[in-house]
């Protein structure tokens, strides 16, 4: 393809073909200009198709995420690797606690305290917490 038209090979030049018989320079140029005018519309359609695809992919990816939310007073476990990375090891437990939620800072972020009412200074993301069932 060269500028929207197919190239002729040397064998076709000498033959009488419908394509070469009906070729007209003016109508060909008019058709090429019309293609250029429609180019922006084609780009917009392709962009819309791409955005729909990305939205579907995001929904598919997010479908596997488990939303965690806790309320004030809930007992939870905290991920040991997030709280003390130096203590992390093959034979160490993965979770520590239980702790008590004392404040919901914003959805997904919590302030904790130990069971003896000793506040923990950092806030914790829900992805690093797990509900404690006793």
Q: Give, for all 134 residues of the chain, the pLDDT tens digit.
A: 455 666 656 665 666 666 666 777 777 777 778 778 788 888 999 999 999 999 999 999 888 777 788 999 999 999 888 877 777 777 888 898 899 999 999 988 999 999 998 988 889 999 899 999 88
Q: How far is CA 127 from CA 78, 79, 90, 108, in A?
A: 10, 9, 21, 8
Statement to judge: residues 37 and 15 lie in one domain? yes
What is residue 34's predicted lDDT score, i.e. its pLDDT?
78
116 in a domain, yes or no? yes
* Tally of domains within the chain: 2
What is residue 52's predicted lDDT score, i.e. its pLDDT?
97
Statement to judge: residues 127 and 80 lie in one domain? yes
Statement to judge: residues 58 and 80 lie in one domain? no
70 in a domain, yes or no? no
Statement to judge: residues 121 and 97 lie in one domain? yes
What is residue 13's predicted lDDT score, i.e. its pLDDT?
60
119 in a domain, yes or no? yes
List the one residue out of 88, 56, 72, 75 whose CA is nearest residue 129: 75
2 in a domain, yes or no? no
27 in a domain, yes or no? yes
What is residue 77's predicted lDDT score, i.e. its pLDDT?
94
List the one residue out of 81, 87, 92, 83 whose CA is nearest residue 112: 83
User: Which structural domain range is residue 123 located in?
Assistant: 75-131
Statement to judge: residues 43 and 86 lie in one domain? no
């Amino acid at each position: 393809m060269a500028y929207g038209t197919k190239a002729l090979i040397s064998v076709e030049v000498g033959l009488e073909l419908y394509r070469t018989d009906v070729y007209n320079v003016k109508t060909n140029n008019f058709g090429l200009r019309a293609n250029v005018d429609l180019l922006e519309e084609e780009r917009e359609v392709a962009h819309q198709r791409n955005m729909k695809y990305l939205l579907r992919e995001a929904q598919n990816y997010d479908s596997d995420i488990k939303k965690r939310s806790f309320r004030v007073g809930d007992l939870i476990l905290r991920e040991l690797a997030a709280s003390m990375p130096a203590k992390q090891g093959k034979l160490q437990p993965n979770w520590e606690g239980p702790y008590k939620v004392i404040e919901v800072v914003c959805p997904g972020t919590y302030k904790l305290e130990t069971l003896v009412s000793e506040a923990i200074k950092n806030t914790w993301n829900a992805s690093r917490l797990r509900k404690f069932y006793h």
